[in-house]
Amino acid sequence: MKLIFTLRHPNAVYYASFSPDGKTLASASLDNTIKLWNLATGEERATLRGHGDGVCTVVFSPDGKQLFSASLDKSLKTWNPADGALLTTMTGHQQYIECMAMSADGKMLASGGYDNVVRLWDTAARAATQNLSGHSDAIYTVAFSPDGKRLASGSNDGTLRLWDLLTGKQLTSLKGHLGAVQGVAFSPDGKQVAAGCSDKTVRLWDAASGELKATFTGHDKYVKCIAFSPDGRTLASGSMDESVRLWDVKSGAAREILNGHENAIYSIDFSKDGRRLATASFDRTIRVWEQ
Amino acid sequence: MLTIGGKSDSTFCDGISRRSFLRVGGLAMGGLTLSQLLQAEAQSETGRSNKSIIMIFLSGGPPHQDMFDLKPEAPIEIRGEFSPIPTNVPGIDICEHLPGMAQMMDRMAIIRSIVGSEGRHAAFQCLTGWPVRNQPVGGWPSFGSAVSKLQGQAREGMPPFVSLSPKMRSSSWSDTGQAGFAGQAHAPFAPNADGTGNLELNGVSLEHLSDRRSLLTGLDRLRRDVDASGAIEGLDAYQQQAFGILTSSRLADALDLEQESPEMRDRYGRGDNVPAGYGDAGPLMNDYFLAARRLVEAGARVVSLAYGRWDWHGRPHGTNFENARDHLPRLDQGVTALIDDLTERGMIDDVSVIVWGEFGRTPRINKKGGRDHWPRVSCGLLAGGGIQAGQVIGSTNRLGEHAKDRPVHFQEVFASLYRNMGIDTNSATINDLHGRPRFLIDHNAYQPLPELV
Which of B319, B326, B328, B366 best tests the A interface by mutation, with the highest count of A CBs <10 A? B326
What pLDDT, on the 0 to 100 scale, is given for residue B49?
A: 67
Does the pLDDT at position A276 exceed 70? Answer: yes
Residue B254 lies in a domain: no
The whole-number pLDDT of residue B12 equals 31
Alpha-carbon gap, residue A265 to A191, rounded angstroms: 26
Closest CB to A263: pick one of B272, B325, B368. Answer: B325
The 3-state DSSP class for residue B76 equals helix
The ipTM is 0.96
pLDDT of residue B278: 85
Contact indicator for B157, B244 with CB cutoff of 8 Å: yes
Residues B240 and B379 in one domain: no
- Is residue B396 included in any domain, yes or no? yes
pLDDT band at B236 (very low <50, low <70, confident <90, very high): low
b/e per residue, A140-179, with b = 16+ CB within 10 A? bbbbbbbebebbbbbbbbbbbbbbebeeeebbbebebbee
DSSP labels for B194-241?
TS--TT-BTTB-HHHHT-HHHHHHHHHHHHHHHHHHTGGGGS-HHHHH
- How many residues does this entry show for chain A? 291
Of B274, B315, B368, the CB nearest to A11: B274
Mean pLDDT, residues B13-28: 33
The whole-number average pLDDT for the span B258-283 is 93
Interchain pair B279, A56: CB under 8 A: no
pLDDT at residue A67 tops 50: yes
Distance, CA of B234 to CA of B12 (rounded, Å): 11
Do B69 and B177 lie in a common domain? Answer: yes
- Give the C-alpha separation, A109 to A121, whole Å: 5
Best interface-test mutation with B: which of A13, A30, A137, A198 has the largest number of B CBs within 10 A? A30
Pick the more confident residue, B1 or B363: B363
Q: Which of the given ranges, B11-25, B86-100, B200-214, has the highest pLDDT on average?
A: B86-100
Closest Cα in chain B, distance from residue A180 (Å): 10
d(CA B103, CA B261): 25
Which residues fall within 8 angstroms of residue A188, CB to CB, at 6 or more apart?
A146, A228, A230, A231, A232
Count of the separate structural domains present in chain A:
1
Domain ranges, residue A168: 2-290
Q: Do A282 and B325 touch (CB under 8 A)?
A: yes
Q: Look at residue B240 in the predicted model and tell me its pLDDT.
A: 58
**Together in a domain, B103 and B221:** no
Are B77 and B217 in a shared domain? no
Question: Which residues are bridge partners to B24 per DSSP?
Answer: B2
CATH number assigned to the domain comprising residue A254: 2.130.10.10
Last residue of one domain, picked from the residues B191, B222, B248:
B248
Using only the alpha carbons of chain A, give its radius of gyration: 17
Helix (H) or strand (E) holding B57: strand B52-57
Band (pLDDT 50/70/90 cuts) for residue B170 is confident
Mean pLDDT of B340-351: 98
Residues B98 and B168 in one domain: yes
- Chain B residues whose CB is inside 8 A of the A156 CB are 367-368
CA distance A34 to chain B (A): 15
What is the pairing mode between strands B302-306 and B52-57? parallel
The tally of domains found in chain B comes to: 2
Query: Is residue B117, in this structure, part of any structural domain at all?
Result: yes
Is residue B176 located within the same domain as residue B325?
yes
Cβ atoms of residues A16 and A25 within 8 Å: yes
**Residue B23 within a domain:** yes
B126 φ, ψ (degrees, to nearest 5)? -80, -15
Residue B285 at interface with chain A, using a CB cutoff of 8 Å: no
Integer angstrom CA distances of residue B325 from A183, B54, B82, B272: 22, 24, 9, 16
pTM reported for the whole predicted model: 0.89
- The mean of the pLDDT values for chain B is 84
Q: What is the pLDDT of residue B28?
A: 37
B174-196: pLDDT as tens digits? 899 999 999 988 999 998 887 54
Q: What is the DSSP string of B357-392?
A: -S-EE-SS--TTB---EETT-EEEEEEETT---SEE
Same domain, B416 and B442: yes
Q: If contacts are CB pairs under 8 Å, which of residues 355-384 in chain B contact chain A?
A: 367-368
The dihedrals phi and psi of B197, each to the nearest 5 degrees, come to 70, -170
Q: Do B57 and B101 reside in the same domain of the chain?
A: yes
| pLDDT tops 60 at residue A249 | yes
Which of B57, B22, B26, B60 has the alpha carbon at shortest distance from B39?
B22
At B62-88, the pLDDT tens digits run 999 999 999 999 999 999 999 999 999
Contact of B279 with chain A, judged by CB distance below 8 Å, is answered with yes
CB B188 within 8 A of CB B163: yes
pLDDT over threshold 60, residue B285: yes
**Same-domain status, B239 and B184:** no
Q: Identity (one letter) of the amino acid at A163?
A: W
Distances (CA, A) of B145 to A31, A258, B353: 34, 53, 17
* Contact between chains at A98 and B276 (C-beta distance less than 8 A): no
- B395 shares its domain with B333: yes
Q: How far apart, in whole angstroms, are the C-alpha atoms of residue A94 and residue B158?
A: 51
Distance, first Cα to last Cα, chain B? 46
Same domain assignment for residues B197 and B217:
no
**H helix and E strand count, chain A:** 0, 28
As a whole-number percent, the residues of chain B with pLDDT over 70 amount to 77
**Distances B449 to A289, B56, B422 between C-alpha atoms, Å:** 54, 20, 14
- Indicate the SS3 state at residue A265: strand
Domain that holds residue B238: 1-39+211-248
pLDDT at residue B218, rounded to an integer: 56
- The side-by-side arrangement of strands in the sheet containing A276-281 is A2-8, A285-290, A276-281, A265-270
User: How distant, in Å, are the alpha carbons of A265, B8, B13, B20, B23 from that of B222?
Assistant: 61, 16, 14, 9, 13
pLDDT surpasses 90 at B213 = no
pLDDT of B39 over the 60 cut: no
Determine, for residues B367 and A114 on separate chains, whether the beta-carbon distance falls below 8 Å: no
Which chain A residues are closer than 8 Å to B285 by Cβ? none
Q: How far is CA B414 from CA A71, B342, B352, B440, in A?
A: 42, 21, 11, 9
- The predicted structure's pLDDT at residue B171: 84
Shortest CA gap A283–chain B (Å):
6
B183 lies in the same domain as B319: yes
Phi, psi of A41 (to 5 degrees): -115, -20
What is the rounded distance in angstroms from the CA atom of residue B135 to the CA atom of residue B388?
33
Q: How far apart are CA A216 and CA A237, in angstroms?
A: 10
**Alpha carbon of B118 to those of A175, B72, B409: distances in Å?**
47, 28, 11
Q: In angstroms, what CA-CA distances link B324 with A262, B313, B367? A: 12, 12, 17
